[in-house]
A and B are shown apart, each in its own frame.
Chain A
Amino acid sequence: MSKIVSRNVNRRDFLKLGGIGIAAAIVPTLISQQSKASSPLAGKNLAMVIDLHRCVGCGSCSIVCKNENNVDGDVFWSSRISKTTGRFPNVRFEYITTLCNHCEKAPCVRACPTKAMHKGDGGITKHDPDKCIGCRYCIAACPYGVIHFNAGKSHEFWRDDKPLIEGATPSAREVTQAVNGKVIPYYNPARELDKPGTGLRKRGIVEKCTFCDHRVSKGQLPYCVEACPTNARIFGDLNDPNSEVSRILGKFHGMRLKEELGTEPKVLYVRTYSTGTHPKTKGSV
């Protein structure tokens, strides 16, 4: 769509046709469409395949996400469903690592009254901290429990004066001061480069996984994908038939969480977590 507009219609045509008033409304749209076309992610349909058979349930994805995105201690952009099921002695441990599904038909985007939650290039569900009013309707609407509301200031821990061991260790605040005091000790400034406010999310607004848009737009993989020791998280463009994700989904059925809701998640799971096999018998009556 954006290509057609930029080829056939220029700004002057619009001014002639529609008058200044109408053009004033349309021009910004055109400009944004043109800039969209130049975005490295435009036209892509980004997705993550999680191979549960490769996953060992180590939780690295959840931890490294915190480093990369400055996510606070009790907040999880990347989380997991884990449970022990069955009946002794036939029990099984299940582990499904989760994140924002970047739903094609995202209920959070539909719910958000200010368009703070929106679909960005590559199909990423993004959040604009400058538009968010903190109404938490997105949390009520998201079927996957992946949005976090910052009720207080983030990283309160690093403002604490109490040392872990009296007389032996420094307090968290002292550690923070040692690294110039403005930000948390493990702060990653890269998170913030594209848009101020996305590095340390302020009080009163929500936050969630961004598919590491700050990395992906530079041609890097999301950090959880990069850090997964077993290559269980695989990332790519579904519009490209040669991408790894497309190939895998050609071979295996991609299971999506709460598929019946029609949210069309872009996080797809293949195979199962269990590493067990079973003997080649037909069973018995």
Chain B
Amino acid sequence: MTENKTFNSRFIVWMVILLAGLGLGIWGVVTTFLSGLQTWGIGDEVPWGIVTASYVFFVAASAGCITVSLGHALGIKGFDLIIKRGVFLAIITMIAGGLLIVMHVGNPVNLWRLITAPNFGSPLGWLVIFYLLYLILLIIDFYLIHKKDFVKARIFGILAPLSAITVHSTLGSVFGFASVRHYYGGAFAPVYFIVIAVVIGTALLLFVTNLHYKFNSKSMSSEMRSVIVSLGKFLGIAIGVLAIFVIWKNLTGLSNPDPSTVKAYQYMLAGPGAWWYWILAIGLGLLAPLILIINRNTRTPNGIMLASGLSIIGMLAARFDFTIGGQVIPIFEDLQHIQQPWADYAATFTEVSIVVLAFSLTALLYTWGSRKLALEEVAEHV
């Protein structure tokens, strides 16, 4: 992460941590390939676990980073300072997301079929196509910015965010389509996912940019400071909008005529999932960052860094809640071969190690990028 490209002790510690994470993750991948998904906590009641939830997090992060960068294409002042880092973050989180989805499937040798013979009636079929298209657009966008071809980059600066919104709302529809699982929100899911993406992406961009300055003991220019603060305000607004969504999602869920839907909400709000939900998803993900951003004294780069960091942790936890919430209550009451009254799902060490791999890989790629690709470069407006 250092600008001066020296291997100071801080950098060495950082690399040791990342390589340890990478090693652990590779162990997880090998274990999964050798022994299969029985090493995970998933099963017929909860077929999608923490790896799937983290996949949603990473795709949201990517889509959010790039949606925020739309500010640059629209010529908003200050965005030229952060756009290159934003596009790069979008690429590497998408790569980490790809890794997670390959790990998620039980039989990856057949994955090529998603491209050669997709089912266009399935949202998952569409998702893969949009996903690849998006990744290509992102890479072209980054290449043009890197080559300082800002005229062409402007076109891709609009196309990439549009395809990001398409990808992430399609991912929302993957959940929404499982219409018997009312917890996922049906038609509401794709819109909900876009708001989530904006929150996670903005938080990630803010956190990484701030961390970059801290790590390298550099001071921010006043222009950079003001971009950080205004993006911080934007994060506050996005979290506020998300909070409204969350309130209504819970209220409509609790009054759903379907008893199993009500049970799923009760599980999260007052049942076994409650501490996780209230402390991590709501407390860290929404309330704490909102307070830090609303309070004028903490609306500083440091305060915003803390707010975005907390929000990232909370949002990751919330993805887990969301994914599990739709599955924890049995799809059929009293069906004897499935667990009643709710399913036990606990992520195993192997599953967690794969999530660690995704984070380590993202951090490693970022470290490489920040040393080799001049991410702090200004992408001029044209």
Contacts and interface: CB of A to CB of B under 8 A. Distances in A.
Given A114-B117, A140-B327, A204-B37, A145 B178 contact: no
A98 interface: yes
Contacts, number: 143
Identify which of A82, A133, A139, A203 gathers the most chain B CB atoms within 10 Å of its CB.
A133
Given A140-B327, A149-B43, A151-B36, A79 B334 contact: no
A258 B37 CA distance: 31
Given A82-B336, A112-B119, A113-B124, A139 B44 contact: yes
Interface stretch (B71-79, B107-115, B152-160, B246-254): B107-115
A183 to B, nearest CB: 19
Interface in B1-49: 35-38, 40, 42-44, 47-48
A25 to B, nearest CB: 13
Q: Which interface class (under 10, 10 to 19, 20 to 34, 35 or more) fits B?
A: 35 or more
Contact of A204 (B106, B121, B338): B106
A140 to B, nearest CB: 4
Interface string A90-128: 000000001000000001001111110000000000000
A133 B113 contact: yes
A34 B35 CA distance: 43
A114 B119 contact: yes
Interface of B is mostly: loop
Contacts of A148: 44
Contact of B118 (A111, A114, A139, A141): A114
B118 A113 contact: yes
A137 B106 contact: no
Contact of B110 (A114, A137, A149): A114
Contacts of B177: 110-111, 141
Given A113-B125, A152-B38, A204-B36, A136 B336 contact: no
Nearest to A137: B124
Interface string B293-328: 000000000000000000000000000000000110
12 contacts: A79-B336, A110-B121, A111-B123, A115-B117, A134-B110, A135-B104, A135-B124, A139-B47, A140-B178, A203-B106, A204-B37, A261-B180
Interface of B: 35-38, 40, 42-44, 47-48, 104-108, 110-111, 113-114, 117-119, 121-125, 127-128, 174, 177-181, 326-327, 330-338
Interface of A: 74-76, 79-83, 98, 107, 110-115, 130-137, 139-145, 147-153, 202-205, 258, 261
